[in-house]
Amino acid sequence: MDHTSSHRPDSGQSAQSIGLVTTQTVTLFEQGDPLKLDSGATLQPITVAYETYGTPNDTLSNVILICHALSGNAHAAGHHHPNDTKTGWWDSYIGPGKPFDTNRFFILCSNNLGGCDGTSGPSSIDPKTNKPYALNFPLITIGDIARLQKALLDHLGIKKVLAVAGGSMGGMIALQWALDYPESVGGALIIASTPRLSAQNIAFNAVARQAITQDPDFNNGDYYHGPKPERGLSVARMMAHITYLSEKGLHEKFGRRLQNREQFSFALETDFAVESYLKYQGSTFGKKFDANTYLYITKSMDYFDPFPDPETTAQRLQKVHARLFVMSFDTDWRFDSSRSKELVRILNLHQKNVSYQEFHSPHGHDSFLLPDLEYSRSIATFINRLYDEELHRRHHKDRPA
Amino acid sequence: MDHTSSHRPDSGQSAQSIGLVTTQTVTLFEQGDPLKLDSGATLQPITVAYETYGTPNDTLSNVILICHALSGNAHAAGHHHPNDTKTGWWDSYIGPGKPFDTNRFFILCSNNLGGCDGTSGPSSIDPKTNKPYALNFPLITIGDIARLQKALLDHLGIKKVLAVAGGSMGGMIALQWALDYPESVGGALIIASTPRLSAQNIAFNAVARQAITQDPDFNNGDYYHGPKPERGLSVARMMAHITYLSEKGLHEKFGRRLQNREQFSFALETDFAVESYLKYQGSTFGKKFDANTYLYITKSMDYFDPFPDPETTAQRLQKVHARLFVMSFDTDWRFDSSRSKELVRILNLHQKNVSYQEFHSPHGHDSFLLPDLEYSRSIATFINRLYDEELHRRHHKDRPA
């Protein structure tokens, strides 16, 4: 399997950016049956925004589906314009010579259903009214998000993915794929995630939604032609941002350092650097993200609970034969390692093919997005082994008896 | 020292409520010099609301000062009306036969400077304008809060307290007393507290202030004659409330239990019990508390940092000879045990008389308010030993040579 050796993620200089990429869109469910959602509602038509990196092989056996988290989008790698200073959200991990190696794999990432970056969501036009859906958009689940991704792959003629991978909420979607489409998934990489939200996670989501819906500009979700509830959304984001970072990471980055001043303001000013940083993060996010999407997506996370009781668990896991790799980070307190271990426990209890690794990182929940050599190698090892086995199977199948 | 034996906190039936109590008010700094604040500003006159429980002895050697936390007030024990279902905030610990035993001690608790429950704060009338101070109230520090308490005790003729005690921010005030008034403090009980806020603590405070100041009803703090920024304050409180409880405690209390429903709403409704609980907590607090006080008090906590560097630390601790007892709770993540240990480390490094105990409790930061036998006994042991030693000293001093 010498073709792996040239693609090791630690090969230094060889890892490059995928370069210029373009977001594509496709409209599904235009004719025929609509998409049936877990709530019982239906949706039709549905636009999906997606990006691809690398080249599919002849048998389409090298496809990897990347699932994004709450505020992510289809732009997982590369850049959109030559002058872009920002790259896709998982650019450290997707590209030539990177763990999701575009020299070897065909990578696909789509904006989640309910999103606000090209895929149908509350900000999309409802064909029935020719106005944005707003709160008329149906509530969605993680299962619905996976269902639309499956429809996209069907549309593209892809019957099976070598692997599905995601961090945080993206990890929930990856798990959902392994459960709902067992014949279509070779392996699932579930990173910094959880089999269900805890009461504390739900509580933080509830406060975020309260901040948004109490913003007078929220206007019961119907704000697309007036001022947007940016203030409420920015407060929600500021709070969430605290949960993405470790206490230690925040301390090391900011400590009690003052922002552009030598002494306290003794006024209701921004005194500390950490305040300034959070306000900037909140304000930027409040301007660019859709508040209704934030409501819908947090709700879909609240609802996620594939293993609510032993009977359901056994039934849901019966047909699962994907290889599963669960990864967590030791300073993540949003979804701490005990959540990943709980998932591993459930999967092992049901004789699933599961591996687990905890990585050391000072960066808390955000670690799954940040460059790290050991984490990088483990992803590459998992993905390459899946593919090597696939090639091996194919080689033996094709060889004349 | 047999008089301690009848006051053990675990004596069961003997512990009673202090019964009906009344809040008293006194106006200080009416004439003469105003109160000088750490910011350089001055304040005059200042009303202080306080309550007392128990009876002072002839020599005033049995006085204990209780310091309240962010949202507390002077009403620490007993009830105000015969039909009150709610008692004072530390009623489990203050009363006849309780750790702060009113059969033995004279207990005093005053509303903090900047508060909104009787002591001068942003909602008080500024004599210069005959309108509420609002944001014209000067910024205050933990040192200023202690300073006003000291003025109150001076006014009452109390030169020295047997002990000063408080949890959370109240613990910061207790520590401040030991530092600023070394001759006036026998012992300090610093519970579930910290020598300084971390970057994460400051970050949470910053989000809370943002939620309040972005509420359109905030009106730059000048809202006393119109609608109040209840929504922003309620969001701030909901978020803070999450940090008061442990993840485990929230899980055990609520888990993923639904609120008055059998299945998900599939709408932007309150689905989970934990959401409902938090919304109720936020809404109640938003109606009763003053948003400006919330801003000022969180800022005073942000600023608290008595040991910023080794030189200042050595200088501040030089004259301290109070006996110090630092207590923490193992599931507190707002001010976790490592903060208390850091304080203990500093105090030991400077040869101070310090004890430390960590208690096991599932209730997180709120543990300091809740009944617990071991914690209760440790408070009683500390307080009674301080007093027994005081009596012993006095006995030997009074005995003819």
Note which residues in 201-260 of chain B have CB less than 8 A from chain A: 202-204, 206-207, 209-211, 213-214, 216, 231-232, 234-235, 238-239, 242, 245, 247, 250-251, 253-256
Q: Which amino acid is it at B117?
A: D
Q: CA-based angle B344:B346:B352, to the nearest 5?
A: 75
**What does the pLDDT read at residue B14?**
59
Tokens 């005093």 found at: B108
Nearest CA in chain A to B139: A266
Rounded to two decimals, the pTM is 0.94
Model confidence at A130, pLDDT cuts 50, 70, 90, reads very high
Q: Is A198 left (phi over 0), alpha (psi -120 to 50) or beta?
A: beta
Note which residues in 135-164 of chain B have CB less than 8 A from chain A: 135, 138-139
Q: Which of A199, A250, A295 sits opposite B250 (nearest CB)?
A: A199
Contact A198 B242 (CB under 8 A): no
**What does the pLDDT read at residue B395?**
84
- Does the pLDDT at position A13 exceed 70? no
Q: How far is the C-alpha of A271 from the C-alpha of B50, rounded, in Å?
A: 32
**What does the pLDDT read at residue B85?**
86
Q: Is A41 left (phi over 0), alpha (psi -120 to 50) or beta?
A: beta
**What does the pLDDT read at residue B298?**
98
Cross-sheet strand order for the sheet of B323-329: B24-28, B46-53, B106-110, B63-67, B161-167, B185-191, B323-329, B354-359
Q: Which of B38, B41, B206 sits opposite A275 (nearest CB)?
A: B206
| Interval A294-306 mean pLDDT | 98
Kind and range of the H or E run holding B176:
helix B169-180
Question: Which residues on B lie below 8 Å from A278 (Cβ)?
Answer: 203, 206-207
Comparing CA positions, the residue from B253, B308, B315, B310 lying closest to residue B278 is B253
Contact A302 B234 (CB under 8 A): no
* Percent of chain A whose pLDDT exceeds 70: 96
Backbone angles phi, psi at B309, to 5 degrees: -155, 165
**What does the pLDDT read at residue A396?**
85
Q: Which of B235, B251, B266 sits opposite A199 (nearest CB)?
A: B251
Question: Which residues on A lie below 8 Å from B266 (Cβ)?
Answer: 38-41, 138-139
Contact B203 A251 (CB under 8 A): no
> At a CB cut-off of 8 Å and minimum separation 6, what does A225 contact?
none
Contact B207 A247 (CB under 8 A): no
Contact A251 B199 (CB under 8 A): yes
Average pLDDT, chain A: 95
Model confidence at A70, pLDDT cuts 50, 70, 90, reads very high
Nearest CA in chain B to A244: B200
B198–chain A Cβ distance below 8 A for any pair: yes
Nearest CA in chain B to A212: B235
- Does the pLDDT at position A254 exceed 70? yes
**What does the pLDDT read at residue A319?**
95
Nearest-CA distance A147 → chain B (Å) = 17
Nearest CA in chain B to A278: B203
Structural domains in chain A, CATH included, are 2-196+305-398 (3.40.50.1820), 204-296 (1.10.1740.110)
Contact A274 B199 (CB under 8 A): yes
**What does the pLDDT read at residue A11?**
40
Backbone angles phi, psi at A280, to 5 degrees: -65, -45
Tokens 């007393």 found at: B177
**What does the pLDDT read at residue B401?**
53
Kind and range of the H or E run holding B249:
helix B247-253
User: Helix (H, G, I), strand (E, B), or coil: what is residue B326?
Assistant: strand
Comparing CA positions, the residue from A149, A145, A169 lying closest to residue A161 is A149
Question: Which residues on A lie below 8 Å from B138 (Cβ)?
Answer: 266
Which residues of A are catalytic, by number? 168, 332, 365
Contact B213 A268 (CB under 8 A): yes
**What does the pLDDT read at residue A46?**
98
Q: How far is the C-alpha of A230 from the C-alpha of A296, rounded, in Å?
A: 16
Identify whether the C-beta of residue B61 lies closer than 8 Å to the C-beta of residue B397. no
Q: Which residues of chain B have pLDDT under 70?
A: 1-14, 399-401
Q: How many CB pairs below 8 Å do chains A and B form together?
A: 155
Identify whether the C-beta of residue B75 lies closer than 8 Å to the C-beta of residue B94. no
Tokens 């400590």 found at: A255
Contact A213 B268 (CB under 8 A): yes
Question: Which residues on A lie below 8 Å from B41 (Cβ)?
Answer: 266
Note which residues in 22-41 of chain B have CB less than 8 A from chain A: 38-41
Nearest-CA distance B150 → chain A (Å) = 22
DSSP B301-314: HHH--S-SSHHHHH
Nearest-CA distance B131 → chain A (Å) = 20
ipTM above 0.90, yes or no: yes
Strand (E) positions, B86-130?
94-95, 100-101, 106-110, 125-126
| Interval A56-72 mean pLDDT | 97
Nearest CA in chain B to A251: B199
**What does the pLDDT read at residue B10?**
44
Model confidence at A12, pLDDT cuts 50, 70, 90, reads very low
pLDDT in tens, A275-293: 999 999 999 999 999 999 9
The DSSP call for residue B56 is: -
Q: How far is the C-alpha of B297 from the C-alpha of B277, rounded, in Å?
A: 25
Contact A199 B302 (CB under 8 A): no
Contact B268 A303 (CB under 8 A): no
Contact B41 A266 (CB under 8 A): yes
pLDDT in tens, A377-393: 999 999 999 999 999 98
> At a CB cut-off of 8 Å and minimum separation 6, what does A400 contact?
none
Q: Which of B247, B282, B302 sits opposite A272 (nearest CB)?
A: B302
Q: Is A166 left (phi over 0), alpha (psi -120 to 50) or beta?
A: beta
User: Helix (H, G, I), strand (E, B), or coil: what is residue A109?
Assistant: strand
List the single best residue of B43, B141, B207 to mutate versus A (max A Cβ within 10 A).
B207
Contact A302 B251 (CB under 8 A): no
Which residues of B are catalytic, by number? 168, 332, 365
B266–chain A Cβ distance below 8 A for any pair: yes
Question: Which residues on A lie below 8 Å from B295 (Cβ)?
Answer: 268
The partner residues of A35 in beta bridges, in order of sequence, read: A43
Model confidence at A400, pLDDT cuts 50, 70, 90, reads low
Note which residues in 95-124 of chain A have CB less than 8 A from chain B: none
* Percent of chain A whose pLDDT exceeds 90: 93
Contact A211 B211 (CB under 8 A): yes
pLDDT in tens, A143-189: 999 999 999 999 999 999 999 999 999 999 999 999 999 999 999 99
Question: Which residues on B lie below 8 Å from A202 (Cβ)?
Answer: 256, 272, 274-275
Contact A272 B199 (CB under 8 A): yes
